[in-house]
Structure 1
Amino acid sequence: MAASIDSAVISRAAQEFGVSEVAEALATGLFLAGFGFGALIAGPMSETVGRNPVYFGSLAIYMLFIMGAGLSKNLGGQLVCRFFAGFFGESPLSTVGGSISDLWDPMNRLIAFPIFATAGLMGPIMGPIVGGWISQAHDVSWRWTEWVTIIVSGALLISLLLFQPETYEPILLQWKASHLRRLTGDKRYVSAAEIQHVTFSARMLTAVKRPFIMTIQEPTIMLWTGYLTVVYLMLFGFLDGYTFVFQKTYNLSDGITGILFIGIGVGLVLSSATLTPLLYRWAKQEFAKLQAEKPGENARIPPEFFLWYALIGAPAIPISFFWMGWTAYPHISIWSPILASVLFGFGIFSVFVSTYMYLIDTYEVYAASALTMITLVRYVASGGMIEISIPMYKNLGIHWALTMLGLIALVFTTVPYAFYRFGPWIRSKSRFAKTQ
């Protein structure tokens, strides 16, 4: 929510600072860029010191920079604080995959991960809803976007401190070994991590280098990075696009325009509620079939199974753009573009879940490195999209701008179908992927 909430008050903040709206849009763009670069540190750090120190420490520091953005007297101060707020605020995104892997086996991840994905994708949608009403209430400062963010974040930090246990197995084993040494006085109780004697700096250097090496060598990561980046460009491009589609065309207020983001949220929930139970039932049937065919062996559903989310939902993205682009006219009911946004939400959820679950199951121990690069590229690119979206909609008009995005989405829709057909062969050529 923190990433997108400022997008609703761009005009008011720009007016106060005496800058253009494109310049003020950097407050959102640099937050997203900070998100991308933060992924290089947070994920490897969580595999070195544990999950909770990263969650707690980064959230506290992020809140300080959000406060700094709210107190800034000029654009430069605001932009610096927003970048570092994004840098430290990214950690849940790159660490949560590991936390889910700590807690659930692959079968139950089919339920756990979509729940996380629904909540995570709701964040960028909730930002404009809250920010829109703050923008419209001229007796309230636009800086309340930052104060609301701090209030919500503070409540979250308190709940984490009170209720969230550490889940990273190597750290838990270190604690157990240390506890046994204290109880018995026997120094032979040690964990595997303590035996390895790898320095913190060496582990971090290896973890930071691996995402770049894998991206260069793995066509799987390249293609999925491109696909999810395109999806996020469209999602964050909508932060400015909604202003043109609904305010310029239908003369709606900031608050009402923000509420219409709920359409995307409805699509997210609809996709999760329909596809997750269906695929979980299919997975159980597939697992039982594999066990019957190879009794006594460890049955494993191939990663290509998780592509069914995208195989079903990916076509909804280009369809939604063409639909919205060519029905957003004053003489056509506003419900037409709203329904198109529901279809967009359905599609982005499907692609997001397929991407993450496919890569987690394909790379397993190296999954964090694969997901780190996807996070870096898509959020840095999304930050750039925030900057170019305003000129794009002004110069092309909403109809051709959305048509162009729809054509790009249509090309990338072939990615999950290609991996469903050729995935096993591609994995067989990989140095990092699990081939069986």
Structure 2
Amino acid sequence: MTRDDSSGTIVVGDATPKSMSRGNSTEKLWEKEFLVTWQEGDAENPRNWSEAYKWFVFIVYCAQQFNANAISTLWTPGTQEAAKELGVSEVVMSLATAMYLFGFGVGPSLVSGAAERWGRKVVEAPPLALIAIFQIPTALAPNVAVVLVFRFLAGCACAGTFNAAGVVADLWPREERGWPTAFFVLNSIGGSNIAAGFAGYLVMAVGWRWTFGIGGISTAFMLLFVFLPFAEETHHGVRLKRRAKKLRRETGDERYFADHEMKTTGQHPRQIIFETLLRPTWMLLTESIVFWFGLFESLTYIVIYLFIGSFQLIYVQYGFNMGEQNLAFFAIVLGFCIGFCMFPIQKALWRRAEKKGPMENGKPSPEARLLWVMPAGVLFSSSLLWFAWTSRPPVPWIVSMIALVFFGIGAFITFTGATEYVIASYGPVATSATGAQNLLRETLAGSLTIASVPMYKGLGNQWATTLLGCFAALVALVPFVLFKYGPAIRKRSQYHQLIVESIDT
């Protein structure tokens, strides 16, 4: 037995390529002694990078997702102006936001599996270029059909930006993923709200068409000057596959291989299609945890995107102009930030779980992530009812804004807990699981965005938001149910073995 010091790889046996025949085909014989794995302290292992560099790489990925989310809402205050210019109703014009969200849902559900096969960076770069390109015809659109088609395509192209969830699992072991996951959530839901907060003034200044132009410019900048120069491939399987390929080239021994390589070599095309394109959708349909937490997260997005259309109806009662109406989104962002700062509570609950449970294989189980989600769900639904009945004169506008702050706190905690729980439960296929949830979340949000203005005009501000609050109260039961029955549900999962293995990763 010898050691290749340049790669940190253990080399066993002499180098004589072997193969085995089966019928008319020749299959490679994988010899365990030549399996390429990480060694202790391996500098190429992303989990051994310095903490500062981990965060740097993670933020590079997060920046792309922030930009993609911002593009979804940046133009929305211009809906009325665009409808008038293109000769359609405001409801039809609101389809532009819905189509982007539909693409947002469909794209990641197809591409997230590809990221687990071929790596994070290679899957993300081409879609970023497409996002920038698709903003051009949207900005120059002569009719609403062009806007809708290219908004959908741009949403689909955003697929690669959802890699950040998988990057968390690549860079940090399970017990250290708390703060990165919290930041991922803040970044994910903050982008659309921060953009919406500025959007009113932007539309007033440059018009609705230039909002797409600005989105294209920002995406091109992110791709050329942030992502391509600084993004690192973080997927462990892909990095080990590259190392094995390098060893084969340098030694002339074809027996070196990586586990990821073994699992993906010689697969039937149908299996490749399933793992790269269909697995997220399959998980949504067959995995109870993925579906119910996807529904839980969906409500947060539904309310946010319904608010985008309703704030103009609500705060015009107070004499606010377009820019001032959308400043209400910063109340939600403030709530997100407060929720982020409250994350030490989750850490304290995690430490408590290390002593008192719930435990699994000697470590806190994924259900420990739900301890702060349960009360947050109650806060989330009650803040909607608070907003519903304080968002009209003579009640001062600040009262409803305070309700939005508490809504932001509840939304952030529920979203963070749900994301942590899914990542902890599904480990190696976490990107597919979050991609599946994204499909449900964005599709539902896109569908109901169309109904925003008609619903608020038909039911009135109070009853429309009350309806959302009542639905939120029902969905808030999900973490309570999973806290009790989650372990049993996970044991029935077809990914149970991966879940067990992820306990130690």
Q: TM-score, normalised by structure 2?
A: 0.80
- Aligned positions of 1:8-27 closer than 5 A: 8-27=77-96
Corresponding residue for residue 357 of structure 1: 420
Point out which structure has higher relative CO (alpha carbons under 8 A, 6+ apart).
Answer: 1
Classify the secondary structure of the residue corresponding to 1:90. helix
Residue 219 of structure 2 corresponds to residue 153 of structure 1: yes
Corresponding residue for residue 28 of structure 2: none
Corresponding residue for residue 310 of structure 1: 373
* Match for residue 368 of structure 1 among 431, 450, 460: 431
Residue 159 of structure 2 corresponds to residue 90 of structure 1: yes
- Aligned positions of 1:114-193 closer than 5 A: 114-137=182-205, 140-157=206-223, 158-193=225-260
Q: Which has the higher helix share?
A: 1
Post-superposition shift, 1:288? 6.1
Do the aligned partners of residues 6 and 376 (structure 1) sit closer, same or farther apart at CA in structure 2, a change above 3 Å counting?
A: same
Corresponding residue for residue 349 of structure 2: 282
- Aligned positions of 1:177-326 closer than 5 A: 177-196=244-263, 197-199=265-267, 201=269, 202-247=271-316, 249-274=317-342, 276-287=343-354, 299-326=362-389
Structure 1 residue runs of 5 or longer lacking an equivalent are none
Post-superposition shift, 1:384? 1.0
Matched letter for residue 258 of structure 2: S
Q: Which has the higher strand share?
A: 2
Classify the secondary structure of the residue corresponding to 1:408. helix
User: Which contiguous aligned blocks of 4+ residues in structure 1 show a shift greater than 4 angstroms?
Assistant: none
Q: Which whole-Å CA distance do the structure 2 matches of 1:52 and 1:200 have between them?
A: 25
Post-superposition shift, 1:125? 0.3
Classify the secondary structure of the residue corresponding to 1:198. coil
- Aligned positions of 1:42-121 closer than 5 A: 42-93=111-162, 95-121=163-189
How many pairs were matched up?
427
Corresponding residue for residue 467 of structure 2: 404
Kindly indicate whether the alpha-carbon contact (under 8 Å) linking 1:6 and 1:27 is maintained by their aligned counterparts in 2. Answer: no
Classify the secondary structure of the residue corresponding to 2:208. coil
Kindly indicate whether the alpha-carbon contact (under 8 Å) linking 2:131 and 2:219 is maintained by their aligned counterparts in 1. Answer: no
Kindly indicate whether the alpha-carbon contact (under 8 Å) linking 1:44 and 1:204 is maintained by their aligned counterparts in 2. Answer: no
Q: Which whole-Å CA distance do the structure 2 matches of 1:20 and 1:219 have between them?
A: 39
Do the aligned partners of residues 285 and 176 (structure 1) sit closer, same or farther apart at CA in structure 2, a change above 3 Å counting?
A: same
Corresponding residue for residue 382 of structure 1: 445
Q: Which whole-Å CA distance do the structure 1 matches of 2:233 and 2:79 have between them?
A: 39
Matched letter for residue 408 of structure 1: F
Classify the secondary structure of the residue corresponding to 1:431. coil
* Match for residue 37 of structure 1 among 106, 119, 124: 106
Post-superposition shift, 1:184? 2.9
Post-superposition shift, 1:345? 0.7
Corresponding residue for residue 392 of structure 1: 455
Classify the secondary structure of the residue corresponding to 1:315. helix
Post-superposition shift, 1:30? 0.1
Do the aligned partners of residues 414 and 288 (structure 1) sit closer, same or farther apart at CA in structure 2, a change above 3 Å counting?
A: closer
Post-superposition shift, 1:299? 2.9
Corresponding residue for residue 490 of structure 2: 427
Matched letter for residue 179 of structure 2: I
Kindly indicate whether the alpha-carbon contact (under 8 Å) linking 1:309 and 1:353 is maintained by their aligned counterparts in 2. Answer: no
Post-superposition shift, 1:370? 2.6
Pick which of 212-221 and 238-247 moved more: 212-221
Kindly indicate whether the alpha-carbon contact (under 8 Å) linking 2:111 and 2:277 is maintained by their aligned counterparts in 1. Answer: no
Percent identity (aligned): 28
Post-superposition shift, 1:82? 0.5
Q: Which whole-Å CA distance do the structure 1 matches of 2:268 and 2:319 have between them?
A: 56
Q: Which whole-Å CA distance do the structure 2 matches of 1:186 and 1:419 have between them?
A: 50
Query: Which string of whole-angstrom CA distances, capped at 9 and with x for unpartnered residues, describes residues 50-70 of structure 1?
Result: 100122111111111122211
RMSD: 2.2
Kindly indicate whether the alpha-carbon contact (under 8 Å) linking 2:314 and 2:461 is maintained by their aligned counterparts in 1. Answer: yes
Q: Which whole-Å CA distance do the structure 2 matches of 1:337 and 1:306 have between them?
A: 30
* Match for residue 411 of structure 2 among 331, 348, 361: 348
Larger Rg: 2
Do the aligned partners of residues 257 and 216 (structure 1) sit closer, same or farther apart at CA in structure 2, a change above 3 Å counting?
A: same
Query: Which string of whole-angstrom CA distances, capped at 9 and with x for unpartnered residues, describes residues 185-237 of structure 1?
Result: 33333333444423584323234333344333333233222222222211111
Q: Which whole-Å CA distance do the structure 1 matches of 2:488 and 2:116 have between them?
A: 30
Post-superposition shift, 1:359? 1.5
Structure 2 residue runs of 5 or longer lacking an equivalent are 1-69
Kindly indicate whether the alpha-carbon contact (under 8 Å) linking 1:67 and 1:147 is maintained by their aligned counterparts in 2. Answer: yes
Kindly indicate whether the alpha-carbon contact (under 8 Å) linking 1:323 and 1:337 is maintained by their aligned counterparts in 2. Answer: yes
Do the aligned partners of residues 314 and 147 (structure 1) sit closer, same or farther apart at CA in structure 2, a change above 3 Å counting?
A: same
Q: Which whole-Å CA distance do the structure 2 matches of 1:67 and 1:263 have between them?
A: 32
Classify the secondary structure of the residue corresponding to 2:88. coil
Q: Which whole-Å CA distance do the structure 2 matches of 1:117 and 1:7 have between them?
A: 22
Do the aligned partners of residues 405 and 289 (structure 1) sit closer, same or farther apart at CA in structure 2, a change above 3 Å counting?
A: closer
Do the aligned partners of residues 200 and 71 (structure 1) sit closer, same or farther apart at CA in structure 2, a change above 3 Å counting?
A: farther
Q: Which whole-Å CA distance do the structure 1 matches of 2:466 and 2:262 have between them?
A: 58
Matched letter for residue 304 of structure 1: E
Q: Which whole-Å CA distance do the structure 1 matches of 2:355 and 2:76 have between them?
A: 49
Do the aligned partners of residues 316 and 370 (structure 1) sit closer, same or farther apart at CA in structure 2, a change above 3 Å counting?
A: same
Kindly indicate whether the alpha-carbon contact (under 8 Å) linking 2:112 and 2:280 is maintained by their aligned counterparts in 1. Answer: no
Kindly indicate whether the alpha-carbon contact (under 8 Å) linking 1:45 and 1:204 is maintained by their aligned counterparts in 2. Answer: no
Do the aligned partners of residues 312 and 390 (structure 1) sit closer, same or farther apart at CA in structure 2, a change above 3 Å counting?
A: same
